[in-house]
Chain A
Amino acid sequence: MNSRESQPNPGVWVVPEVSYVDPQRRFCRYCGRPIARGFWRVSSGGETWSYCDARHADLDVGAQPAEHRWQEDRGC
């Protein structure tokens, strides 16, 4: 599983304000875990992805498309 080498990703740790009026429901793009608040944000090719942490971004970015890829912010 994820035998490819870990690679640096151009991400940044983001801690947004929590809003109950306009709740943002994010999931880690790698593992699917719902993100409570702070997350590792990676922008690439005009897309922005959220991750639990940099490690999960390392495991995901650059991976070949796989069944478990899903669209970020698709409203789920």
Chain B
Amino acid sequence: MSAAVDPVTLTVIENALTSTCRDMGVTMMKTSYSPIFNESLDFSCVIFDPEGQMLAQAEFCPSQIGTIKFTVTWTLDELGLDAFEPGDVLLHNDPYRGSGHVPEHMMLKGVFWEGKLFCFVANVAHMSEPGAKTPGGLSGDATEVFQEGLLLPPVKIKRRGEDVDDIWKIILANHRTPKVTYGDFRAMMASLDLAEERMHELLATYGEETVRSACRELLEVAERRMRAEIRSIPRGVYHFEDVIEDDGITDRAYPMKLTLTVADDEVIADFTGSAPQAVGPVNAIYAVTASAVYNAVLHLTDPTIPRNEGCYRPITIIAPPGTIVNCAFPAPVAGGNTETSPRITDMVFGALQHAIPERIVAACGGTSSPFLFGGADPETGDLYAHFHFEGVGWGGRRGLDGNDMVVTINGNCRNTPVEVFETRYPSFRIDRYRLLADSGGPGQWRGGLGGERILTVTAPVTVSALLNRMKTDPWGVLTGGSGARGGIWIERAGSEGWRTFVEEFGTLSPSKFSGIRLEPGDRVRIVMPGGGGYGDPHDRDPEMVTQDVENGFVTIERAVADYGYPGEPR
């Protein structure tokens, strides 16, 4: 039994751990090659103890932070601690071994102190090109995980500080953009090296026993505080259902059912009754489902609780294998992490809307709007690939309208700025990028606005998409209205009028497809869904409705129809 660490030292160590994770992210942002790293920040950085318990994280991508605990523990379980030596770096992206989906690659390095393993530092990042059937991965019509990229079980890409060349060769030979992969992997390694250095500094300053004791105590503090937060939610069994509208292969809808039990100081999220796994790539693996539930619970509870494994201990997830929330090998999974994940998080909010109306939020636009493209640069001949995602409207919540055009609640990423988009890739010119009036669900607190992007093709390019909320509404809560749906359309060069990809190319789904070749002069229009509204629209302050009309967020027609505009000032 170690002695308790004084509160000041405990706080200093907690902040040192969190700052280390933040610095890891800055390193990746500053040293990487791809915009998905240095613009979108689609990565996360964490520290684990040797038992695989997450000690600290920084505020990057929630879906990754939740899943990486499964990726790391799988690695430790499969290999055993004896497999790790100083200087080793493990690489791993296999969804059926705990990774979120194939593009997300996890790197893990043991930190040794005085010859003994003290902790692990790890990061996970979305590689813009994973070697899938189409550029950028996330092929909207994949039917097996093998079509989604090169699968890497936990393997050493560095052994005792030296590159394992054979592993590098296999990976670089399978990715369309080896230079980018090489640069981004090096950025991930630099991030791990920095974290190792920071941990050594911390151990040298405070001593191994104090840091170890502090880590144990931080886990206990987080668990204790999370349990106290859960106790503040009325006990009960809550239900909610939503649906994934199609899967890219069939027109079948996949219902998801949640039974959420709040029992004293624990939460049990049971997805029994959810649809069997999909044929196409909208399946979530268990880790993704768990991560989405963690994300929701963290949103509903005190944000000052230390973000570590202790937060997760009171939360149990039950997800029957072979279903859309825990698919079985080798089902495709790309969209589980981008589409099904935010839907699950929203479902937790929906289930609790009457229990804790002051904390929940209406449904967000519910899609990461993955739009993938790639080809050969006409000037250099170099291959390129990019995973572009868009913001959506977030749901309204008590006291505030939803955010406009922010990447979904599971992502916390940024999209690629127009200037970077056009500079880095030869294939598109952005003609229009704007918020869409009336896309936010009406409510006392309006849903955030979705948006529209129109691109003109400037060089031959292959595109794929994996979008949602094209057929079903982002729902409102507590009598709030639904946000607007999204969509994607094409206008071929020399023709006029927008057509769906089903109409133009015969794709199986209007929003999930892959490998469509476009030519210069073609135009693509993507519409991002809005967020659901919160509360009765007629309770909205008339002044706010007036401002919405003046700002162009709500048209006069909808203001009259939805809000009774013009109303009497309060």
Residues of chain A whose beta carbon lies under 8 Å from any beta carbon of chain B: 1-3, 18, 20, 25, 27, 30-34, 36-38, 66-68, 70, 74, 76
Given contacts A32-B286, A34-B96, A36-B77, contact A20 B153 (CB under 8 A): yes
B326 touches A32 (CB 8 A): yes
Report if B322 contacts A (CB, 8 A).
Answer: yes
Give 15 A-B pairs besides A25-B96, A32-B318, A34-B321 with Cβ atoms closer than 8 angstroms. A1-B268, A3-B263, A25-B329, A27-B321, A30-B318, A31-B319, A32-B317, A36-B77, A36-B78, A36-B97, A68-B320, A70-B322, A74-B322, A76-B321, A76-B329
Cα(A2)–Cα(B266), bound, Å: 12
B60: chain A residues at CB < 8 Å are none
Complexed CA–CA distance, A76 and B283 (Å): 14
Give which listed residue, A1, A32, A36, contacts B320 with CB less than 8 A: A32
Residues of B within 8 A of A (CB): 73-74, 77-78, 96-98, 153, 237, 261, 263, 268, 270, 272-273, 285-286, 290, 316-322, 326, 328-329
Q: How far is the CB of A68 from chain B (nearest CB, A)?
A: 4
Check if A67 sits within 8 Å of B273, measured CB to CB. Answer: yes
Point out the residue from A2, A34, A37, A74 that lies within 8 Å of B286, measured CB to CB. Answer: A34
**Chain A residues in 8 Å Cβ range of B98:** 34, 36
Given the complex, which residues of A lie within 8 Å of B286, measured CB to CB? 32-34
User: Nearest-CB distance from A65 to chain B (Å)?
Assistant: 12
Question: In the bound complex, how far is the Cα of B285 from the Cα of A33, in angstroms?
Answer: 9
Q: A32-B326, A34-B96 are in contact. Are A68 and B77 (CB under 8 A)?
A: no
Contact A68 B268 (CB under 8 A): no
Residues of A within 8 A of B328 (CB): 25, 76
Q: Please state if A37 and B318 are interface contacts (CB–CB under 8 Å).
A: no
Within the complex, what minimum Cβ distance (angstroms) separates B257 from chain A? 10
Name, among A27, A37, A76, the residue most crowded by chain B CB atoms within 10 Å (CB to CB): A76
The residues of B that contact A1 with a CB separation of less than 8 Å are 237, 261, 263, 268, 270
CB distance from B100 to the nearest CB of A (A): 13
Q: Pick from A27, A32, A68, A74 the residue with the most CB of B within 10 Å.
A: A32
- Tell me, rounded to whole Å, the shortest Cβ–Cβ distance linking A5 to chain B: 14
Residues of A within 8 A of B268 (CB): 1-2
| Bound Cα distance from A3 to B270, whole angstroms | 15
Could you list some 29 contacts between A and B, CB below 8 A? A1-B237, A1-B263, A1-B270, A2-B268, A25-B328, A25-B329, A27-B321, A30-B318, A31-B316, A31-B317, A31-B319, A33-B286, A33-B290, A33-B317, A36-B73, A36-B74, A36-B77, A36-B97, A37-B77, A37-B78, A38-B77, A66-B272, A67-B273, A68-B270, A68-B318, A70-B320, A70-B321, A74-B322, A76-B328
Among the listed A18, A33, A67, A76, which residue makes an inter-chain contact with B322, where contact means beta carbons less than 8 Å apart? Answer: A76
A68 to B325, CA, bound (A): 13
Q: Which residues of B contact A34 (CB under 8 A)?
A: 96, 98, 285-286, 321
Task: Give complex CA distance A19, B319 in Å.
Answer: 25
Within the assembled complex, what's the spacing in Å between the Cα atoms of A36 and B73?
A: 8
Q: Which residues of A contact B290 (CB under 8 A)?
A: 33
Give the CA-CA distance A3 to B263 in the complex, in Å: 9
Of all chain A residues, the one with the shortest Cβ separation from B290 is: A33
B321 with A31: CB separation less than 8 A? no
Within the assembled complex, what's the spacing in Å between the Cα atoms of A74 and B322?
10
Instruction: Give chain B residues whose Cβ lies under 8 Å from the Cβ of A2.
Output: 268
Residues of B within 8 A of A74 (CB): 322
- Set of chain A residues within 8 Å of B326, measured between Cβ atoms: 27, 32
